[in-house]
Structure 1
Amino acid sequence: MSADVAVDAALTAPVHAEPGTTMTHTLAAWASDPARSRGRRHPQAPAPTRNEHQRDRDRIVHSTAFRRLVYKTQVFLNHEGDLFRTRMTHSLEVAQLGRSIARALALNEDLVEAIALAHDLGHTPFGHTGQDALNEALREHGGFEHNLQSLRVVDALEERYPDFDGLNLTFETREGILKHCSRANAVALEAAEPGGVARRFLDRTQPSLEAQLCNLADEIAYNAHDIDDGVRSGLITLEQLEAVPLFDTYRREVLREYPDLAAPRAGRRLLYESIRRMLSAQVYDVIAATQARLDHSRPASADEVRRLPPQLGFSPAMREQSIALKQFLFQNLYRHPQVTQTMALARQVIQELYACYCAAPQEMQQGYADKAAQAEGPQRVVADYIAGMTDRYASREHGRLTGRTLWE
């Protein structure tokens, strides 16, 4: 069956469900229905015009942490160019991909969007390098996980409401935000919230299909935009990408239809069209493969999905191609000498900021300085402060505290 035929079949398949009472389309039986949400940690009256997951999405969009994503970068740092992806643009792309797939599978689009927009709220400045540096610095104090930090942001660090800390999101959104979690952290979270969002890491059960979808949409978006940013930067070339079957299949297809795009001046159009087709193929594959699994397992509810093996994902062939693409990007982009040199400087910024603030917590903004003074030790408060920084604020603070500028 071709990808187009498969996705058409998925889109027209009957939906085995009662309508969700507050959704604009019919939900599948295995979808997360906002009317059946497990609720919020602090009970609140329903909103008159929005369902619970729409409400979550709106709270996330209006949060301080979400606004900061516009100056938190992915692979390329903020000073390296204006057109490279940031955590903000990445999150928007994940939300777009997630909603498209959710709509085809009759899942809860609003929940998918909320998870997608919040999944990187806990990321440090300077991408994964900042996370690794903080994790090393906090090795004797519980470490640092960006997924756990994202949950910490929405549960405790946002200060917007008079009655509670955090955004008071629903269980389902919080469950999706906590994509990964070490066993030690899961045990601690379970002790504080029995039967809560960390329980599945101890029971080895699955999250909702919407959460599974966001995990995969994150991966799809990463692979696509890192190709784009990598070629734009000049660190990888279209010629190198000929060795990647998942990309080269569509590059050759585009050139057969538009031979004029082989000209060097047309490289940008060739790149964009190849990525667009690659994205479409992955989306169609996810829809068809997932629908086939669900038609076989026929879960009667979202909770039953949690007790099954993962249901949402690529076909085996597409998974293999996706892994090959990730390996290419790891070897040729993420480990490129120019990237590793810049990230070494970024690691130094985070390490020195951490040391400075731990030695002199009063150098932090007043609210954090006050929290550090009240804590048994300043380490976690310092980590919260640094993790919330944008790339440029971290660079500016590093210069202020050390008197040095590591890059222009």
Structure 2
Amino acid sequence: MRHTESPRGAGAGRSRVVGCALLAITLGAGVTGCTSDGDPLSAEPYDATDRISFGGSVEAGGTADPDKPLEVVAEDPAGRVTDVTAVDASGRHLAGELAADGSRWHSTSPLAADTRYTVRVSTEDEDGAPGRRVLTLTTGKPTTSKRLAVTFGPPAGTYGVGQPLTAELDAPVADRARRAVVERALKVESTPAVTGTWHWVDDKKLHYRPKDYWPAHATISVRSALEGVAIGDRLRGGTAEPLTIRTGDRVTAVTDAAAHRLTVHRNGEVIKEIPVTTGKPGFETRNGVKVVLARERLVRMRSTTVGIAEGSAESYDMDVHFATRVTWSGEYLHAAPWSVGSQGSANVSHGCVGMNTTNAEWFFGTVRAGDVVEVVNSAGDTMEPFGNGYGDWNLDWTEWRAGSALTSGTAADPGESARLRPAAV
């Protein structure tokens, strides 16, 4: 860049070292950048190299303390800062806030440790002439001993449109401000784009879902920008493997317990209606939206696993075929040849949705993990949001957003996790 001479003299407006507890980049007032036509706004930005100084937390060689904010100060009241960008070697932008009068800029998100930053500062003097400075600095190694690892789920693959993303932390994060640091760094991108957010299930687990179901045939990627970032006392972000999943067709199934009928839709069109039986009094099938967890061609189902005493009138022990699991506690849609006479007319199961073997095999081959299965008009309770599978969609959007640390709402109480137990027929 060329340097435009100041009308106030070569020494005018030089910055002084700031002795503060922060990293300070101090700017001089700038110089008037007049061109031959006398218009300062048409001048090239002057080089402010000799008007930048570091103080406080910056050591010799440009190493900065990662546990302190980055600050840029315009020393002369006649000049002002107009823009600051700070980007690390991984392309992560450091969030910051610029004072309305341009006198000061400071970072509002933690700096990553042991990382090189490129800082671009734009200034303006009282005549409107622009100044610019580009510099690099390196943050020191962290003094903290714990790194927070993040594991994303589900495993890479193709899922139904109801599949939430999950993030498992290897240490608890309870404080809301610290949760916000973590959540802000967990980046989700979807093609086509959707509106979605994370929800804290507990101190170590987050789920991400859109406002509505994912689009069919979408590509969804999640990654962490948390590495090296300060989260709390003696805790910084660690590494995380990024994840990409895809969605297939939009497959949704609705079981009407009162009508004893299962209706399956693909991409908005009904493709099959199946007579079924659901839970009888005392064993009612849960209402609400569930997400397919797995398909199991053969499952041994025993009544003792759901609290029914062996030898009682309700006891059973049998092999069940073409079982599609929707809760960890043992709710399935499966073949039930013993109840064919009641399918389509009465509810006689112990909580599962039963159908004849041909229909169960068809359903088993049609759905995949992540597809949506909803139950309506049952006398049972509503599927719990968490702990017994993916009941995420049973929270409306306002409740879901309240579970984010980046909103002003209060996190919804996820309640107690359901006790895990094997299947009921």
TM range, smaller chain:
under 0.3
Q: Taking structure 1 as the reference length, what is the TM-score of the superposition?
A: 0.22
More helix by share: 1
Structure with bigger gyration radius:
2
Q: Taking structure 2 as the reference length, what is the TM-score of the superposition?
A: 0.21
